[in-house]
Amino acid sequence: MQPSFDTNKPIFITIAQWLEDAILADIYTEESQVPSITEISIQYNINPATALKGVNMLVDSGFLYKKRGLGMFVAKGAYDKLLERRQQQFFEDYIKPLVIEAIRLKITAADLQAMIERGYDNDN
Amino acid sequence: MTIDIQNISKRFGQTQALDNISLKFGQKKIYGLLGNNGAGKSTLLNIITGRYLTDDGILTLDGEPLKDNDKALNQIYMLSEKDYYPETMKVKDAIRWASVFYPDFDEKLALKLTEKFGLPVKKKIPSLSTGYKSIFKIVIALSANTPFLLLDEPVLGLDAGHRDMFYKLLIERYSENPCTIVISTHLIAEVEGLVEHCMIIKDGRIIKDAPCEDLLNRGYSISGPAALIDDYIKGKDIISSSNLGGLKTACLNGAMPNPENLPVGLEAGKMNLQEYFIQLMKEGEVKGNE
């Protein structure tokens, strides 16, 4: 899993989302340690201040917490809280742009619905 | 610790290399000094380190004048494009000498880095290839341990692997022991994530001096059918625009509009540092033609 740096998002947001994704993918499980600011900065060639800003977003939301002298750890309950938040954002993040593109391509709501069902079928 | 530059100008014959420049470097940040070839980046850095004299202006480190002030100048290490080593000097001798000039120079680290980069220590410096000359300079700079590190085109002639290695080592060094770093480069995309504060220099003048993030929030690009774009950008602060068939893209100053408030068919996007830089350089050309 890699953070995807694109122009429309500041780098610290990309880092925060990448950490969230990694928690949701069980790469960093609850009560386990996440990489240090230095490790993240070196891995992605970014300024440590930027990496810190991204990590602090998760600290502020209560997904990560700091153990003095040890580093950052995933908080208890972080997975469920993240899942809930991402589900709430799903409409804004995915459905809205999907519908805009569908309208541009003259795809009707019924066609779109059929495609979504096909997508679910393929995944099972 | 702060380097304070006030109203510095420098003329070489007919060329005004620097024109009334005022800047501050401090707060243990990583600065990007960005500009095209010949913009005045090297001249500025050479003036800070006393290699060139200024025509006028004031240069201080924490209030103390920098000129002829060895104590203050020893706080600054500069990696420069030119090298000033004697022709017969070997890499390992240069490393030994560096610890004489810079009391906090980390000789052990320097030798470790030579191994890491595969730099032959017994070779004479002038006989190194362009890439290895750059690596040699990088090794010395990363080991200098001065509060200020000025890097003038540090990755010149380096292959992609070695450039990546350099950026990682620089971050490691900065994380362990924060200092003020100024990187002058024209490889903007590579330092975009690294640099916290940008100074953009053009024709000897500083045209932007701001945190990178602020800078990128100040402009955006918008594209769509030419007629719609022309309508949209009317009266707005345009940096540049280009046409591709009926598709037009314009770069504007200002905050990016919410996509929902845009006319259907138009797409707005942020610019990355390199795009923004290129547009800024064009801006002058357009005005120059008018």
Q: In the prediction, which pLDDT does A7 show?
A: 66
Separation in Å, CA of B188 to nearest CA in chain A: 13
Segment B174-230, tens digit of pLDDT? 999 899 999 999 889 899 999 999 999 999 999 999 998 888 888 899 999 999 999
Please report, as a single letter, which amino acid is at residue B289.
Answer: N
Q: How does pLDDT run across B28-62, given as a tens digit for each residue?
A: 999 999 998 889 999 999 999 999 999 889 999 99
Crossing angle of helices A109-123 and A96-104, rounded to 10°? 120
Distance from CA of A123 to the nearest CA of B (A): 32
User: Which of B164, B195, B270 faces A47 most closely, judged by CB atoms?
Assistant: B195
List the beta bridge partners of residue B90: B124
Interface touch B213/A10, C-beta < 8 Å: yes
Q: What residue type is B208 in one-letter code?
A: K
Task: Give percent of chain B with pLDDT exceeding 90.
Answer: 65
Residues of B in contact with A48 (CB under 8 A): 171, 174-175
**Domain range A11-76, CATH architecture:** Orthogonal Bundle (1.10)
Residue A28 and residue A64 in contact, taking contact as beta carbons nearer than 8 Å: no
pLDDT in tens, B128-177: 999 999 999 999 999 999 999 999 999 988 999 999 999 999 999 999 98
Residue B286's pLDDT band (cuts 50, 70, 90): very low
Q: Judge: A45–B164 Cβ closer than 8 Å, yes or no.
A: yes
User: Does B290 score more than 50 pLDDT?
Assistant: no
Q: Write down the pLDDT at residue B278.
A: 87
Give the confidence band of B17 by pLDDT, cuts at 50, 70, 90. very high
Q: Distance between CA B149 and CA B173 in Å, rounded? A: 11
- Give the β-pairing of B15-26 and A64-67: unpaired
Question: What does the pLDDT average to over B235-254?
Answer: 89
Cβ neighbours of residue B212 under 8 Å, at least 6 residues apart?
B32, B192, B195, B196, B197, B198, B273
Q: By a Cβ cutoff of 8 Å, what residues of chain B touch chain A?
A: 29-30, 164, 167-168, 171-172, 174-176, 190, 193-196, 213, 216, 269-272, 275
Q: What is the pLDDT of residue B289?
A: 37
CA-to-CA distance for A6 and A16, rounded, in angstroms? 14
Nearest chain A residue to B174 by CA: give it.
A48
The pLDDT of residue B76 is above 80: yes
pLDDT in tens, A46-93: 999 999 999 999 999 999 999 998 999 999 999 999 999 999 999 998
* pLDDT, tens only, A17-42: 999 999 999 999 999 999 999 999 99
- Given this model, what pLDDT does residue A124 score? 66
Inform me whether the pLDDT recorded for B84 exceeds 60.
yes
Strand order of the sheet with strand B30-34? B76-79, B148-152, B180-185, B30-34, B197-202, B205-211
Residue B202 or B259, more confident:
B202
Supply the pTM of this predicted model.
Answer: 0.87
Q: Which two tokens stand for residue A86?
A: 């991402």
Question: If pLDDT is split at 50, 70 and 90, which confidence band does B287 have?
Answer: very low
ipTM of the complex: 0.80
* Contact present, B17 and B68 (Cβ < 8 Å): no
Q: Where are the alpha helices (DSSP H) in chain B?
A: 41-48, 70-73, 91-101, 107-117, 130-143, 160-176, 188-191, 212-217, 226-233, 273-289
Least confident of A112-116, B24-28, B91-95, B276-280: B276-280
Count of CA atoms in the C-beta half-sphere (13 A) of B187 = 17
- Sequence-distant (6+) residues with CB within 8 A of A115 are A107
Please report which confidence band the pLDDT of residue A8 belongs to, taking 50, 70 and 90 as the band edges: confident
Chain B CB contacts of A7 under 8 Å are: 269-272, 275
Token pair in block for residue A61: 């939301």
Cβ(B267)–Cβ(B222) below 8 Å: yes
Order of strands, sheet of B15-26, starting from the edge strand that comes earlier in the sequence: B15-26, B2-12, B56-61, B64-65
Work out whether the CA dihedral B30, B31, B32, B33 comes out positive or negative: negative
What DSSP string describes B59-76?
EEETTEE-TT-HHHHTTE
- Give the type of residue at B61: L
The CB-side HSE value for A95 (13 A sphere, CA atoms) comes to 10
Distance of CA A86 to the CA centre of its chain: 8
User: A8 and B193 in contact by Cβ < 8 A?
Assistant: no
Q: Which domains does chain B have, with CATH numbers?
A: 2-214 (3.40.50.300), 218-289 (3.30.70)
Which pLDDT score, from 0 to 100, does residue B272 have?
Answer: 85
A42–chain B nearest CA distance, Å: 5
Average pLDDT, chain A: 93
Q: Give me the residue spans of the domains in chain A.
A: 11-76, 89-123
Instruction: Pull the structure tokens for residue A103.
Output: 């309208």
| CB-based contact, A10 to chain B, within 8 Å | yes
Strands B238-244 and B247-253: antiparallel
Cα(B266)–Cα(B28) distance, integer angstroms: 42
Would you call B196 and A46 a contact, using CB atoms and an 8 Å cutoff? no
- A103 touches B: beta carbon within 8 Å: no
Residue B87 scores a pLDDT above 90: no
CA distance B31 to chain A (A): 11
